[in-house]
Structure 1
Amino acid sequence: MDDEDDTGDGLELWERVKEEAKPLVRKKKTEPGSPEVKSDEKAHYPPKIQLQRRPRSYMQIASEAPQKPTITPLVPGTFSNRLDRKNDMRIKKGKTDYEMKIDFHGMTVQAAYLCFMRTLEQAQKNNKRLILVVTGKGKNAEGGGGVIRQSFLEWINRPDISRVILTCHPAQAKDGGSGAFYLYLRKA
């Protein structure tokens, strides 16, 4: 092919494209010494559309209700007086292999609770004592953790559940760190 033939066709095509093209509208950049545009002169935008909110769930309504501050007596690590020091330290340092694992990632609070209760029941039936519970850190990790993590700490403090637990410690980094807990259960 000749280069001259290609350039002739290309130029004709380019001329047609230039004729049909419309220039883009660009915002003018303000220079450091130029006067600012007053708010009256700014373009008026249509009002924002209000999206309909989904109906709130019972858990959302309950969490918004003002509650009395409660003191949580049993937090991870305070179950320690129920277990001998040697075994407690082995569990705390992650040197004892866990026998069951629960991972709450991707679950709702209700689904996580049901899974937790079923696992406790199965563990007692099968004489499994050490459970690794992975709650995840949650999106609000700086503020104390996610919803499931906070709910889990409340669940283990309920009298019907805490009587089954001998000790609870945050997991070691290899097992999930601050997003997981070791639960050591009483013998069935």
Structure 2
Amino acid sequence: MRRRRSLSDEENRLWADVARSVLPLPGRARPAPAKPAAEPPAATEVPSRKVVPIAAVPPPPKAAPPLAPLERRMVRALARGQTRAEGTLDLHGLTQAEAHQRLLGFLRRGQAAGHGLVLVVTGRGRDGQEGRGVLRRMVPLWLGAPDLRGLVLGFQEAGTRQGGAGALYVRLRRLRT
């Protein structure tokens, strides 16, 4: 990269303005002013351009609240049978579209009823093989989607007594009144 040997006239003017606004350190004299720069050349007329107003940009959408894991205390109470889910939804045998609609309606009704924790049973899929349960893969994605964050506080795989890998505990947000 090549270094420039001198500043342009405009840069010299800017530097002079900055230097005038700075107070010297105690015991030092103010430096001598730089020689005045030549007058800038007369501005040539530039053909006018059509000015297009910038459209008002809408503010960015409000960020979805983050998901939170279930508290350790609650997980322990669920495992011991001291706490139970306040509602259960079984999605066995449904298509993705049917399951998504039922899940959405179930979560809305649960939130409206004041439920804090519900159980969603997806099933493990055919033969219990990994990757074959479509709803088992899709329901966590739906629960983590921004459009459901207003309903869902967090979710976690259920304990073995409640369905294990084929079910999810879903923590619901409280309705704000």
* TM-score using structure 1 length: 0.51
In the TM superposition, residue 184 of structure 1 has moved relative to its aligned partner by 1.0
Q: Which amino acid aligns with 1:185?
A: L
Spell out, residue by residue over 1:125-175, the C-alpha distance to the aligned partner (whole angstroms, 9 max, x if none): 111121110000002643335011111011011012134322312112221
Tell me the SS of whatever aligns to 2:170.
strand
Spell out, residue by residue over 1:56-84, the C-alpha distance to the aligned partner (whole angstroms, 9 max, x if none): xxxxxxxxxxxxxxxxxx8xxx732xx65
In the TM superposition, residue 88 of structure 1 has moved relative to its aligned partner by 4.8
Give the conservation status (yes or no) of the 8 Å contact 1:92–1:169. no
Highest Rg: 1 or 2? 2
Q: Which amino acid aligns with 1:130?
A: L
Equivalent pairs counted in the alignment come to 110
Q: Which residue of 2 aligns with 1:105?
A: 92
Please give the alpha-carbon distance, in whole angstroms, between the structure 1 residues aligned to 2:141 and 2:81.
Answer: 23
Match of 2:119 among 118, 132, 146: 132
Tell me the SS of whatever aligns to 1:143.
coil
Distance 1:88 1:172, change over 3 A: closer
Gaps of 5+ in 1: 1-73
Give the conservation status (yes or no) of the 8 Å contact 2:91–2:123. yes
Q: Which residue of 1 aligns with 2:131?
A: 144
**1:4-153 map, 5 Å:** 79-80=68-69, 84-91=71-78, 95-139=82-126, 141-153=128-140
Spell out, residue by residue over 1:80-123, the C-alpha distance to the aligned partner (whole angstroms, 9 max, x if none): 2xx65423543466642111100001111111110000001101
| RMSD between superposed Cα atoms in Å | 2.4
Gaps of 5+ in 2: 1-65
* TM-score using structure 2 length: 0.54
Q: Which amino acid aligns with 2:151?
A: V
Give the conservation status (yes or no) of the 8 Å contact 2:153–2:173. yes
Please give the alpha-carbon distance, in whole angstroms, between the structure 2 residues aligned to 1:171 and 1:84.
Answer: 13
Identity value in percent: 32
Please give the alpha-carbon distance, in whole angstroms, between the structure 1 residues aligned to 2:75 and 2:103.
Answer: 22
Distance 1:174 1:155, change over 3 A: same
Distance 1:89 1:142, change over 3 A: same
